Amino acid sequence: MTTMGSGDFTYEPVDDWAKLPPGWLFKEIGGIGVDSRDNVYVFNRGEHPMIVFDRDGNFLRSWGEGIFPRAHGVFVAPDETLWLTDDADHTVRQCTTEGKILLTLGTPGKPAPYMSGDPFHRCTHTAMSPQGDLYVSDGYGNARVHKYAPDGRLLMSWGSSGTNPGEFNIAHNITCDADGWVYVADRENHRVQVFDADGKYETQWNNLHRPCGLFMPAGKCPICYIGELGPVQRVNRDAPNLGPRVTITDHTGKHLARLGGIRAGLGPDQFLAPHGLSVDSRGDIYVGEVSWTQWPQLFPNQPMPDDLQSLRKFRKL
C-alpha cells in the first residue's frame, strides 16, 4: 500500500474514485467543495462545469453548462450554498447545490481595468467571515482583496501589486477561520499572508512554493491544507523538494505533514498541479489539479498521456 504524509496526517491514495458517466472528462479542475453530507462538488473546465459525487465517488448530477467558461474556485458556505469564482467571466456566483443562481457579483464577461483595484479582473476565490461577510481574492488582473456584506454590498478593498506586506503577486486563494482572520495565498510571492477582518496585515507563512489552494475546516484553531504548484521554469523544473505537493499546517503556519514526491510525476504519491482542495468530515482530502495546463510546462518534450488525472482522493489512515 502506498502511503503519504506522516504522523496523525497519514493517507493512502484512492485510485479511480470518481465514477464519471461514459465519455465524460474533467479536463482540469479549478476547485472542489464538500458539503455537510460529504457530497463532493467538482468545479472543472470540461463540458460539464459542476459535477457532483457522493463520498464513494458515485455520480449524482451535473450543472452549469453554458454559464461558466473557466472554473476556478469553490467555497461551500455554512448555509450550504456554493460561491463559485470564474476568472474568465470575472464573476462570483452564489448557487444552490442544485445549480440555481442566487446572486452574481461582477459583470459577466466584462473585467474591470487591469490593475485598477476595482472588482473584478480575473477573480480567483472566495471566503466567508464568521459574521457572513464575503472576501474575494482578485486575482490575476488585480492584486486585491474585496470585502462584501452578506447582501452583496462592497464594503472595502485592500492590496496592491508588489512584494511588501499587504501586497500581492497573484492573490490566488483565500480562506477565513472562526476568529475572523483572513488567509491569502500570495502565489508568486511564495507565501500565505494573514490579515485581520479589515485587511490589516498580521503575519505571513513562508517555506512554501507557489501556494495555490487553501482549505481550513470549521472550528477554532483549525489546520490548513495548502496545495502548492511546483516549479515550471526550464532552469528549475527538475529541481527536487519544491513540489508540487500538499502541505498541512496548524493555524500558525507550522508544518505538520507534506504529501507528494520530490518532483512532479504520475506516480500514486506524486502530483502535477494541485489547484483546489477540500476535506470531508472523515478527514479525507480531495485535490483538483490543472494537469492539462501544467503538463507541457513540466514535460515539454513528452506527449500528454491520454489518461492524465485531474482529480485525486486521499483516505486518512
Q: Which pLDDT score is estimated for 1?
A: 85
For the segment 25-70, what is each residue's pLDDT rounded down to a tens digit? Answer: 999 999 999 999 999 999 999 999 999 999 999 999 999 999 999 9
Q: Which residue, 20, 19, 27, 21, is CA-closest to 44?
A: 27
For the segment 199-243, what is each residue's pLDDT rounded down to a tens digit? Answer: 999 999 999 999 999 999 998 889 999 999 999 999 999 999 999
Q: Check if the beta carbon of residue 214 is closer than 8 Å to that of residue 183.
A: yes
Q: Please identify every stretch of the chain with a pLDDT value under 70, giving residue numbers as ranges.
A: none
| Three-class SS state of 188 | helix
Q: Check if the beta carbon of residue 37 is closer than 8 Å to that of residue 15.
A: no
Q: Which pLDDT score is estimated for 37?
A: 97
Q: Which pLDDT score is estimated for 307?
A: 83
Q: Would you state the cell numbers that stand for residue 73, as one nine-digit string?
A: 474556485
Q: Please give the CATH architecture assigned to the domain spanning 4-316.
A: 6 Propeller (2.120)
Contacts 24+ apart (CB under 8 A), 230-234: 230/263, 230/264, 230/271, 230/273, 230/298, 232/294, 232/297, 232/298
Q: Check if the beta carbon of residue 30 is closer than 8 Å to that of residue 288.
A: yes
Around Cβ 303, how many Cβ atoms within 10 Å?
8
- The structure's pTM equals 0.97
Kindly state the DSSP code that residue 19 receives in the 8-state scheme: B
Separation of alpha carbons 225 and 227, rounded Å? 7
Q: Which pLDDT score is estimated for 144?
A: 98
Q: Which pLDDT score is estimated for 269?
A: 94
**Helix or strand (DSSP H, E) at 167:** strand 167-168
